Each structure stands twice: as C-alpha cells, then as structure tokens.
Amino acid sequence: NAGVMQNPRHLVRRRGQEARLRCSPMKGHSHVYWYRQLPEEGLKFMVYLQKENIIDESGMPKERFSAEFPKEGPSILRIQQVVRGDSAAYFCASSPTGVAEQYFGPGTRLTVT
C-alpha cells in the first residue's frame, strides 16, 4: 500500500507567482489535512478536507490560499501571489474515517525568491 504522496518535493517560485502543491492520500483514506512547518517550528494546521468538501479551514490565511479535494484526483493547495513569508515545508496527511492518527507525506519544500 503506497503511502501519502506529495509533489513536487521542492518548488521554487518568485514573488508574485502561484504555487500549486499536490497530495494523493493513502488508498482507502478519504480525509486529507494540510500543515505548514516553518524552520525550527512545529507543524501548524491549515485545512481539513474530505472529497469535494472543506471541513475546517480555520488555520488557512483568508487571502491568497485555497485548497480543494476533488472527486477525482489529488488534493491541491494553491498559493497565489507568493511572498517570501510563504517559504516553508508543506505537509499533507491522510486518515481513514473514524481514526485519529494521521499518516504524512514527505512534504513539499517551497522557496520563494
């Protein structure tokens, strides 16, 4: 059973460009979570999605950030007009229904120049 997959692993964007981060959950997992990790910090929750629904986006900035998890295909975290402060590692996690633990992907390391 393949684990959580994220791509790209590394992404470099210039200020003002858009960043698209993709996450494919583990097979059989319908719950997806996105977290952001700043250097030397813990992970901060951003958004929680199920297929075609955003369940909780309380940790996601209201501007420039959006997320989706379509019926077919991976979950996408989209950052428009990136700024230097968006440079971080973005991790996706998934879980099956009714299970508290989450399984993490390898992360996408975004660098904004």
Question: Count residues contacting another protein (CB under 8 A)?
Answer: 28
Q: How far is the CB of 88 from another protein (least distance, A)?
A: 14
Q: How many degrees, rounded to 5, is the angle at CA 89 between CA 83 and CA 95? A: 125
Q: Which amino acid is at 58?
A: S
Among 1, 30, 4, residue whose Cα is nearest residue 105: 4
User: Interface with another protein includes 11 (CB under 8 A)?
Assistant: no
Q: How far is the CB of 95 from another protein (least distance, A)?
A: 6
Radius of gyration, alpha carbons of the chain: 13
CA dihedral over 62, 102, 100, 32, signed as positive or negative: positive
Q: Could you tell me which residues are beta bridge partners of residue 5?
A: 24
Q: How far is the CB of 12 from another protein (least distance, A)?
A: 16
Instruction: Identify residues 90-109 at the interface with another protein (CB under 8 A).
Output: 91, 93, 95, 97-107
Instruction: Identify residues 57-86 at the interface with another protein (CB under 8 A).
Output: 59
Which residue ranges make up the site for another protein (CB under 8 A)?
Answer: 4, 6, 31, 33, 35, 40-45, 48, 56, 59, 91, 93, 95, 97-107
